[in-house]
């Protein structure tokens, strides 16, 4: 049921104490008794109890005063109050002061047992939720995707609720917000955590090979099929299959994916043999799938199949209060990785980080801190250590003629030089700059730099 619980009964009526002890012991609980409030509070100081049964009307220390003292020492404690002088006013007052429930005398033993069972189950769930949050934070750890902002607290709560289920989850958010990290956290806290977590990168797979990648193929089924291959669904069997950027798949694959979700079976390319699969599906996208459904680009029935539980990750610019937390976490990580000993990020540098819009989100912030750790020659990160990102807007640079140049202009010139060096190749230039391709494209558009003029 819920295991043995440690229960304390505080009541001045010996017959009532014995009755409660007998009733609650029948469920395997350990029950201790106290004949007044002072003795009860003393016992609570010496030993932890899962639940307290408290009489409201006792000589000496009143039950309401005992309730106040219990809740002051441990606000999370569960107290069920009982009394032979039941009034609406006393019931409401006890509940306002933190009592879990209110039982008027006389009562049937089974009624008390039922209320206690519900209360202990609530306590068990609360403790499990605390443990789950601790594990989640430990698992996400170095990436520090969970912040202190209200929006990220909502994400955290959703992850905790949906993880133990087998529901399909659709994670929405811009590039760099940590969609795969959230998917891995959901898998890690599911009943499938000991089974495979398999990623399908829908943005990098070639369309004509997509079916083979998903479902596998048999030898000789097409040109180049020199051996039988397992698909991602088979590899993920029993575990979780994560479709990253699912908005990139074409209509043909959408139709076949929908069939798999409905039938829970696949066929390898070139085979007529049906293979049963048991996978939990998590998908992610940076696109507006509802708009794509209206535009006829994405199947409506597949969209509803995927978005049983949608989780929207806010961009970093909408949760700026999390930036110092993230920046300091990344500082610790890259101090360790780069064998540096940078003590802190200065206030001016942190202000620049908070004011920046971060089109590349958490991933771009991580790149910025790593680059700053590498470039910094002192034991503090200063605004000038961040100039590649156009962050130090209150700092300036000098041209050869002594003219003051804003660092945003320095960044533009640096991007142009790097872009020319790689003949306008987006991927190579982005890698050299330490940013992703989407961020580089954003900056090219921002600064009016034409890719064609660099080739």
- Position 93 confidence tier, pLDDT thresholds 50, 70, 90: confident
- Is 4:28 a contact under the CB 8 Å cutoff? yes
Residue 341: which of 393, 307, 305, 377 has the closest Cα? 377
Query: Is residue 37 pLDDT above 90, yes or no?
Result: yes
Query: Is residue 388 pLDDT above 70, yes or no?
Result: no
H/E element holding 33?
A: strand 30-34
Mean pLDDT score across all residues of the chain = 83
For residue 396, the model assigns a pLDDT of: 40
For residue 260, the model assigns a pLDDT of: 92
For residue 85, the model assigns a pLDDT of: 65
The sign of the torsion formed by the CA atoms of 345, 346, 347, 350 equals negative
Residue 143 or 252, more confident:
252
For residue 141, the model assigns a pLDDT of: 44
Average confidence (pLDDT) over 340-352? 90
Sequence-distant (6+) residues with CB within 8 A of 287 are 245, 247
Does the structural domain 6-125 have CATH classification 3.40.50.2300? yes
CA atoms within 13 A on the CB side of 109: 13
Residue 238: which of 266, 279, 200 has the closest Cα? 279
For residue 132, the model assigns a pLDDT of: 56
For residue 142, the model assigns a pLDDT of: 38
For residue 393, the model assigns a pLDDT of: 40
Residue 49 structure tokens: 């109890």
Start-end ranges of CATH 3.40.50.300 in the chain? 144-314
Query: Is residue 416 pLDDT above 80, yes or no?
Result: yes
Residue 207 or 151, more confident:
151
For residue 395, the model assigns a pLDDT of: 40
For residue 312, the model assigns a pLDDT of: 95
CATH architecture assigned to 318-454: Orthogonal Bundle (1.10)
The Cα 320–Cα 113 span in angstroms is 49
Residue 136: which of 187, 170, 171, 180 has the closest Cα? 187
DSSP 3-state percent helix, strand, coil across the chain (nearest 5): 50, 15, 35
Average confidence (pLDDT) over 188-210? 84
For residue 311, the model assigns a pLDDT of: 96
The sign of the torsion formed by the CA atoms of 248, 302, 292, 359 equals negative
Residue 307 structure tokens: 């978005």
197-201 β-sheet, strand order: 197-201, 240-244, 280-285, 169-172, 309-312
Average confidence (pLDDT) over 43-67? 88
Average confidence (pLDDT) over 386-401? 47
For residue 49, the model assigns a pLDDT of: 86
CA atoms within 13 A on the CB side of 116: 31
Query: Is residue 332 pLDDT above 60, yes or no?
Result: yes
Average confidence (pLDDT) over 25-53? 90
Query: Is residue 225 pLDDT above 80, yes or no?
Result: no
Sequence-distant (6+) residues with CB within 8 A of 138 are none
Start-end ranges of CATH 1.10.8.60 in the chain? 318-454
- Is 135:247 a contact under the CB 8 Å cutoff? no
- Position 412 confidence tier, pLDDT thresholds 50, 70, 90: confident
For residue 286, the model assigns a pLDDT of: 92
Sequence-distant (6+) residues with CB within 8 A of 412 are 447, 449
- Is 203:345 a contact under the CB 8 Å cutoff? no
- Position 455 confidence tier, pLDDT thresholds 50, 70, 90: low
Residue 9 or 49, more confident:
9
Average confidence (pLDDT) over 122-151? 61
Average confidence (pLDDT) over 298-314? 95
With 0.75 as the threshold, say if the pTM is over it.
no
Residue 398 structure tokens: 């000098």
The sign of the torsion formed by the CA atoms of 351, 354, 360, 361 equals positive
Give percent above pLDDT 90 in the chain: 34
- Is 162:186 a contact under the CB 8 Å cutoff? yes
Average confidence (pLDDT) over 123-139? 59
For residue 166, the model assigns a pLDDT of: 92
Q: Please name the residue ranges forming H helices in 74-149.
A: 88-96, 109-140
CATH of 144-314, one of 2.30.30.100, 3.40.50.300, 3.10.310.10, 3.90.1300.10: 3.40.50.300
Concatenating the DSSP letter of every residue in 242-261 gives EEETGGGS-HHHHHHHHHHH
The sign of the torsion formed by the CA atoms of 6, 12, 17, 20 equals negative
Tell me the CA end-to-end span of the chain in Å, nearest whole number.
70
Sequence-distant (6+) residues with CB within 8 A of 453 are 424
Average confidence (pLDDT) over 146-169? 89
Secondary structure of residue 292 in the 3-state scheme: helix
Residue 134: which of 156, 115, 152, 117 has the closest Cα? 156
Start-end ranges of CATH 3.40.50.2300 in the chain? 6-125
Residue 240 structure tokens: 């979780």
Average confidence (pLDDT) over 429-447? 79
The Cα 33–Cα 96 span in angstroms is 25
Beta bridge partners of 285: 172
């Amino acid at each position: 049921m819920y295991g043995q619980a440690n229960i304390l009964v505080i009541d001045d009526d010996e017959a009532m104490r014995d009755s409660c002890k007998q009733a609650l012991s029948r469920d395997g609980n350990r029950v201790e008794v106290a004949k007044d409030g002072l003795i009860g509070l003393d016992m609570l100081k010496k030993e932890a109890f899962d639940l307290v049964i408290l009489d409201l009307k006792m000589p000496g220390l009143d039950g309401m005063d005992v309730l106040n003292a219990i809740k002051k020492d441990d606000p999370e404690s569960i107290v069920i109050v009982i009394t032979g002088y039941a009034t609406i006013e006393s019931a409401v007052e006890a509940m306002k002061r933190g009592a879990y429930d209110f039982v008027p005398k006389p009562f049937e033993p089974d009624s008390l047992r039922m209320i206690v069972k519900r209360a202990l189950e609530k306590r068990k769930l609360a403790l499990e939720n605390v443990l789950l949050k601790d594990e989640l934070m430990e698992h996400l750890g170095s990436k520090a995707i969970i912040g202190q902002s209200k929006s990220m607290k909502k994400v955290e709560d959703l992850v905790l609720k949906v993880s133990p289920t087998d529901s399909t989850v659709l994670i929405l958010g811009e590039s760099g917000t940590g969609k795969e990290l959230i998917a891995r956290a959901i898998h890690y806290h599911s009943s499938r955590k000991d089974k495979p977590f398999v990623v399908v990168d829908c943005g990098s797979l070639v369309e004509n090979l997509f079916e083979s990648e998903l479902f596998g193929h048999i030898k000789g089924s097409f040109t180049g099929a020199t051996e039988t291959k397992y698909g991602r669904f088979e590899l993920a069997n029993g575990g979780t299959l994560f479709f990253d950027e699912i908005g990139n798949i074409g209509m043909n694959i959408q139709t076949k994916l929908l069939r798999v979700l409905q039938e829970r079976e696949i066929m390898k390319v070139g085979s007529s043999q049906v293979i049963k699969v048991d996978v939990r599906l998590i998908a992610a996208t940076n696109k507006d799938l509802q708009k794509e459904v209206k535009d006829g680009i994405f199947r409506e029935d597949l969209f509803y199949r995927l978005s049983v539980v949608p989780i929207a990750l806010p961009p970093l610019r909408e949760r700026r209060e999390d930036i110092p937390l993230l920046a300091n976490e990344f500082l610790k990580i890259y101090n360790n990785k780069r064998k540096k000993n940078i003590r802190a990020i200065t206030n001016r540098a942190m202000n620049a980080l908070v004011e920046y819009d971060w089109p590349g989100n958490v991933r771009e912030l991580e790149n910025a801190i790593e680059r700053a750790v590498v470039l910094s020659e002192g034991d503090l990160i200063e605004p000038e250590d961040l100039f590649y990102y156009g962050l130090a807007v209150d700092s300036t640079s000098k041209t050869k003629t002594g003219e003051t140049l804003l660092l945003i202009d320095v960044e533009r010139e640096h991007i142009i030089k790097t872009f020319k060096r790689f003949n306008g190749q987006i991927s190579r230039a982005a890698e050299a700059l330490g940013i992703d391709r989407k961020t580089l494209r954003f900056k090219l558009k921002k600064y009016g730099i034409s890719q064609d003029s660099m080739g």
